[in-house]
A and B are shown apart, each in its own frame.
Chain A
């Protein structure tokens, strides 16, 4: 993995600056974002100015160049506020941006990364289809060779940031002369003829973050749209991007869990039944204790996972372990948070109500919990059998 381009001292200040920004500029807008189902343009501009669209992209391309451990710490911080905020630049730094940063040709990097890092370009990751979510290998979108490029046709669904995307990392199957089909990934600008994006989905949570269907109808791209410039890269690019993304999702889960804990603790310290603070009831304290245990364990696990990923020690099992544990953990913590709040936990003006819905997604995308179990289990077996 590439080394950090940011010194530990600078990073401490970056993290402190981000914390201040979230506390002062994002948290006060949480209700507005949720109610309007939109991130205010002024906040988007501030996020661009700050450098948030390219924190995981190398400085060479105008990004900040954080390493994986720093990205995880940043993710925990970002997780402290509405997840929709992070989602706005999540695809640029994460699943979509990493496809070009990790697998693109020099020309492709030159053409795209600077705009992606600054936020002038929004990149989306278009893998999932109906019937091809957990098993993307069964996708039906295909790319057919033309004289000077490719023609792409197919339908994607639930694509984050599709309604505002300037460019898609579009995954499609290519069949070679022998009749064997392989997944490839193409850089497809959203303004090409044949690209249409559906209305944005009405979701359970994370209002303000948009997903939509994307249709490719004989979309013509030139040869240089094939990521990496040669066939055989797409599947690996998807899996690598997703594995790294799992550490981020786990970090966000820890951030949200911390927020739920803080909100619940603050509530328990002021709300009373009769003359007694609810926080003085031992059964409420037990819930707070369970939340703290989850947060502490999750934080330790995410940072350990990031270190192992960074050093190359474990880039496959560990991210799945962290995602599985932390996203399940935040589900339980959010549930407890609602319980500590009593009826208030079911009322919109309390952040825990929103978080309870928002974090549900974390167990579904970038690999469901069951898919994480499969990855962990099958790789453990593979390792064991290789030893024998």
Chain B
């Protein structure tokens, strides 16, 4: 069994994050760059599955600039067996469709039984890459899972929406995406960190993938405008004159917080 986890570097949500209003891209150099948290949860699932099932290989796949190496290496420190980084100057600013095309080519190049992704990244928050990959690779997708069960033939899991819990199942090979409800990831241990340096880490360009991808084609999705979120307005102060409880309840109701 080979599980490929799609890993993405993102600005650390722990600190402040910045958007370049000229280009519409996250200004990655202004914040700490880390593996996106949702990705770590996906990796955690794959690695703990591999620990319990001999013969499972976990591959971390990322498309990013080459300086994302350190973040991707964290996947190896956590316990992934090898990493593949698709890095190509021509891909800077790639839209989701181009990203999906490149990842699909990389997945074909690597080979996979199961692909796991986060349901959406904390920076771009597009959330469509798994669906696009399913289409491009012609494999089933089950997305936004809160649990996964996996065997040699199929993957199944639950998706929780509003008041319904769905049980979904797909034959392998398949792609799934997981939500924040997956358990916290482990911290890479000291031995894992040392071992990571010795694990295979491939850096490939688009040409290396041997796929027919026109990176210069006009982007299919165009961002027409971008603006920063307006600064937070002052909150509502409730002074308790005997009716603070009611006022609080009113406030919560009005803002649909309950």
Which residue in chain B gives the minimum CB-CB distance to A18? B190
Question: In the assembled complex, which residues on chain B have CB atoms less than 8 Å from the CB atom of A49?
Answer: 186-187, 189
Question: In the assembled complex, which residues on chain A have CB atoms less than 8 Å from the CB atom of B188?
Answer: 17
Question: Per-residue CB proximity of B178-190 to A under 8 Å, as 1/0?
Answer: 0000000011111
Q: Does B77 contact A (CB under 8 A)?
A: yes
Which residue in chain A gives the minimum CB-CB distance to B187? A21
Which residue in chain B gives the minimum CB-CB distance to A5? B194
Number of A-B contacts (CB under 8 A): 34
Cα distance, A21 to B77, chains bound together (Å): 14
B77–A50 contact, CB under 8 A? no
Q: Does A110 contact B (CB under 8 A)?
A: no
Instruction: Name the contact of B187 in the complex, choosing from A6, A9, A50, A55 (C-beta under 8 A).
Output: A50
Interface residues of B in 175-205 (CB under 8 A from A): 186-191, 193-194, 197
Question: Per-residue CB proximity of A7-33 to B under 8 Å, as 1/0?
Answer: 001100110010011011100000000
A64–B187 contact, CB under 8 A? no
Cα distance, A13 to B74, chains bound together (Å): 9
Question: In the assembled complex, which residues on chain B have CB atoms less than 8 Å from the CB atom of A21?
Answer: 187
Closest beta carbon of chain A to B31's beta carbon, Å: 15
Cα distance, A21 to B192, chains bound together (Å): 14
Cα distance, A25 to B189, chains bound together (Å): 14
Cα distance, A53 to B82, chains bound together (Å): 28
Question: In the assembled complex, which residues on chain B have CB atoms less than 8 Å from the CB atom of A17?
Answer: 77, 187-190, 193
Q: Does A230 contact B (CB under 8 A)?
A: no
Cα distance, A105 to B188, chains bound together (Å): 33
Question: In the assembled complex, which residues on chain A have CB atoms less than 8 Å from the CB atom of B194?
Answer: 6, 10, 14
Closest beta carbon of chain A to B83's beta carbon, Å: 15
A10–B197 contact, CB under 8 A? yes
Which residue in chain A gives the minimum CB-CB distance to B190? A51
Interface size on A, residues (CB 8 A): 17
Instruction: Name the contact of A9 in the complex, choosing from B77, B191, B197 (C-beta under 8 A).
Output: B197
Question: In the assembled complex, which residues on chain A have CB atoms less than 8 Å from the CB atom of B197?
Answer: 9-10
Cα distance, A51 to B77, chains bound together (Å): 13
Question: Per-residue CB proximity of A313-337 to B under 8 Å, as 1/0?
Answer: 0000000000000000000000000
Question: In the assembled complex, which residues on chain A have CB atoms less than 8 Å from the CB atom of B187?
Answer: 17, 20-21, 24-25, 46, 49-50
Known: A9-B197, A10-B197, A49-B186. A64 touches B191 (CB 8 A): yes
Question: In the assembled complex, which residues on chain B have CB atoms less than 8 Å from the CB atom of A24?
Answer: 187
Contact residues of A: prevailing secondary structure:
helix
Closest beta carbon of chain A to B150's beta carbon, Å: 23
Which residue in chain A gives the minimum CB-CB distance to B191? A51
Question: In the assembled complex, which residues on chain B have CB atoms less than 8 Å from the CB atom of A64?
Answer: 190-191
Central interface residue in A10, A13, A20, by most chain B CB within 10 Å: A13
Which residue in chain A gives the minimum CB-CB distance to B12? A20
Interface residues of A in 89-104 (CB under 8 A from B): none
Closest beta carbon of chain B to A137's beta carbon, Å: 38
A14–B193 contact, CB under 8 A? yes
Question: In the assembled complex, which residues on chain B have CB atoms less than 8 Å from the CB atom of A23?
Answer: 14
Interface residues of B in 14-28 (CB under 8 A from A): 14
Cα distance, A46 to B186, chains bound together (Å): 8
Cα distance, A9 to B197, chains bound together (Å): 10
Question: In the assembled complex, which residues on chain B have CB atoms less than 8 Å from the CB atom of A51?
Answer: 189-191
Question: In the assembled complex, which residues on chain B have CB atoms less than 8 Å from the CB atom of A10?
Answer: 193-194, 197
Question: In the assembled complex, which residues on chain A have CB atoms less than 8 Å from the CB atom of B14?
Answer: 23
Cα distance, A162 to B191, chains bound together (Å): 28
Closest beta carbon of chain B to A78's beta carbon, Å: 13
Interface residues of B in 60-91 (CB under 8 A from A): 77
A13–B193 contact, CB under 8 A? yes
Question: In the assembled complex, which residues on chain A have CB atoms less than 8 Å from the CB atom of B190?
Answer: 14, 17, 50-51, 55, 64
Closest beta carbon of chain B to A46's beta carbon, Å: 7
Interface residues of A in 246-286 (CB under 8 A from B): none
Question: In the assembled complex, which residues on chain B have CB atoms less than 8 Å from the CB atom of A46?
Answer: 187
Cα distance, A10 to B77, chains bound together (Å): 11
Question: Per-residue CB proximity of A62-105 to B under 8 Å, as 1/0?
Answer: 00100000000000000000000000000000000000000000
Which residue in chain A gives the minimum CB-CB distance to B194? A10
Which residue in chain A gives the minimum CB-CB distance to B34? A20
Closest beta carbon of chain A to B231's beta carbon, Å: 18
Which residue in chain B gives the minimum CB-CB distance to A52? B190
Cα distance, A49 to B189, chains bound together (Å): 6
Cα distance, A21 to B191, chains bound together (Å): 15
Question: In the assembled complex, which residues on chain A have CB atoms less than 8 Å from the CB atom of B189?
Answer: 17, 49-51
Cα distance, A46 to B197, chains bound together (Å): 22
Cα distance, A9 to B189, chains bound together (Å): 15
Cα distance, A23 to B34, chains bound together (Å): 14
- Chain A interface (Cβ within 8 Å of chain B)? 6, 9-10, 13-14, 17, 20-21, 23-25, 46, 49-51, 55, 64
List the 6 shortest-distance A-B pairs measured between CB atoms, nearest first: A51-B190, A21-B187, A50-B189, A13-B193, A10-B194, A64-B190
Q: Can you spell out 28 A-B residue pairs with CB atoms less than 8 angstroms apart?
A: A6-B194, A9-B197, A10-B193, A10-B194, A10-B197, A13-B193, A14-B190, A14-B194, A17-B77, A17-B187, A17-B188, A17-B190, A20-B187, A21-B187, A23-B14, A24-B187, A25-B187, A46-B187, A49-B186, A49-B189, A50-B187, A50-B189, A50-B190, A51-B190, A51-B191, A55-B190, A64-B190, A64-B191
